Amino acid sequence: MATQSKRCVQYLAHGAARVGLVAVSALLAGILGVLALLLFWSYPGRPNPFFDDHGTPLPRGLSEKLFIEINGVMQGLIIESKDTSHPVLLYLHGGLPDYFLSKHYPTGFEDLFTVVWWEQRGAGLSYSPDIPKESLTTEQYIADTLALTDYLRHRFGQERIYLMAHSGGTFFGIQAAARAPERFHAYIGVAQMTNQLRSEQLAYQYMLQRFRESGDADMVRKLEAAPVTLEGGAPPAYLAVRDSAMHRLGVGTMHTMTSIVQGLFLASLQTREYTLGEKVALWRGKLAAGVSALWEEQVSTDLAETLPVVDVPVYLLHGTYDYTVSFPLAKAYCEQIRAPIKGFYTFEQSAHSPMFEEPSRTVRILRDDVLAGTARLADAPLEVAQGG
C-alpha cells in the first residue's frame, strides 16, 4: 500500500512538473510571438520613398529620418516630400510626437510641402535620459525652433519657411514666429494654446458635468477630489486622470478616439517607420515629461496679454469638440491678435487634431488660403466671450 501511495505521489509530481513545463513553454512562446510581432511592425524602421503610378521612385521625392545637433543636443526629425522644390513646412508637435498618426490618418501635407516632422528635445527620436527636465523651457524650445528653421532654410535654399504647430507646440511656436517673422511665410496653429489654466478649468467643469450626467460615480469622485481653479491651478491628481477622461468623452486627441491604449499606444507600435527602440523612447519621453518647466510656463501665461501682435500671417485651425485646448479661448485670441493676415477655421467634426480628423479640409485651407496668402475660407467674424 505504501509503495502504491509513493508511486501515486511520484506520478502526481511528474504530472505537475509536466504541466508547469507546458505553462512555461507557452509563456515563452507567447513572449517570443509578441516580440516577433513588434519587430515585424518595426521594419524597415524608416519612412518609405514615394513612387509614381508605375512604381518608380519620384525623382524629386524625399523620405528620410535624420539626426542633427541642435543647440548642443542631438535631435531627430523625419522629412517627407513628393517634390523638394515645394515650400518647407516645419511641424511642431504637442505633448507627444504624433508623426506615427500620419501613417494611420494621412494628412496629404507631402503633396504641397516638404514636411519636417521634428521630435523636440526630450521627446521621441530626441529623447535622452541625460537631458535635464529643468532645461525644457519655452526659451530653449524657441531657440531650438529658430536654429532648426535656419538649418532648413539653408538646406533647401528657401529664404522663408512655413511653421505649423499643434497643441503644446503652439505655445512656443507662435512665440518663435513673433520673435523672427523674417524667417517665416506664415504661422499655422492647430489647437492653439492661449490661457491654458483657464482652458483646463473649462475642461474640468465640462467633464465633471458629463460624468455626473452619465452616472459615472468613480470618475466623478476622482474629479471632485482634484478641482481645477484659477487660484489653485491644475493639481497632479487631476492631471493623472485628465487624458483618459477626455478620450472617453471624445474630446481628446480625436472625437472618434475613445481609448489612449488603442488609439495612441497600439497605433504607435504598429508604425513601421520607427525601430522598436525608437518606439520605446517615444513612450519613455512621454512618461518622463511629467509636470515639466514648459507645462508650468503654459499654465501661468496668457498669450492674449503677453503676445498681442505677430508680424506674419496667422491661421488657427480648431475642432469644436476639443477640450484639451479650449476652442472658444483660441477663437477669442484670433479675434484679438494683430497680424498682417489672420483667419480662424472651425472644424465641426473634430476634437484636438483636425489635420488627422478632417485632412481634406485642412489641405484645402493650406492650399487655397495659406499658400495663397489669403483668408477667404476662414470663418465669418464672430464675437466670442473670453472663457466661452
**Statement to judge: residues 231 and 370 lie in one domain:** yes
Kindly provide the b/e burial profile for residues 301-321, where b requires at least 16 CB atoms within 10 angstroms of the residue's own CB. Answer: bebbeebeebebbbbbbbbeb
**Statement to judge: residues 149 and 23 lie in one domain:** no
Range of the domain at 7: 1-41
**Statement to judge: residues 7 and 134 lie in one domain:** no
**Statement to judge: residues 195 and 315 lie in one domain:** yes
Give φ, ψ of 42 to 5 degrees: -100, 15
Over the stretch 169-184, which tens digit does the pLDDT of each residue have? Answer: 999 999 999 999 999 9
CATH no. for residue 80? Answer: 3.40.50.1820
Number of independent structural domains in the chain: 2
Residue 270 has pLDDT above 90, yes or no: yes
**Statement to judge: residues 36 and 90 lie in one domain:** no
Q: 30-39, 305-314, 355-364: which has the minimum mean pLDDT? A: 30-39
Q: Which of 285-294, 348-357, 376-385 has the highest mean pLDDT?
A: 348-357
**Statement to judge: residues 211 and 339 lie in one domain:** yes
Position 12 confidence tier, pLDDT thresholds 50, 70, 90: low
**Statement to judge: residues 207 and 266 lie in one domain:** yes
**Statement to judge: residues 36 and 163 lie in one domain:** no
**Statement to judge: residues 211 and 271 lie in one domain:** yes
**Statement to judge: residues 55 and 162 lie in one domain:** yes
Position 388 confidence tier, pLDDT thresholds 50, 70, 90: very low
pTM value is 0.91
**Statement to judge: residues 138 and 272 lie in one domain:** yes
**Statement to judge: residues 14 and 114 lie in one domain:** no
Over the stretch 274-327, which tens digit does the pLDDT of each residue have? Answer: 999 999 999 999 988 766 788 999 999 999 999 999 999 999 999 999 999 999
pLDDT at position 386 is 33
**Chain CA centroid to CA 94, Å:** 4
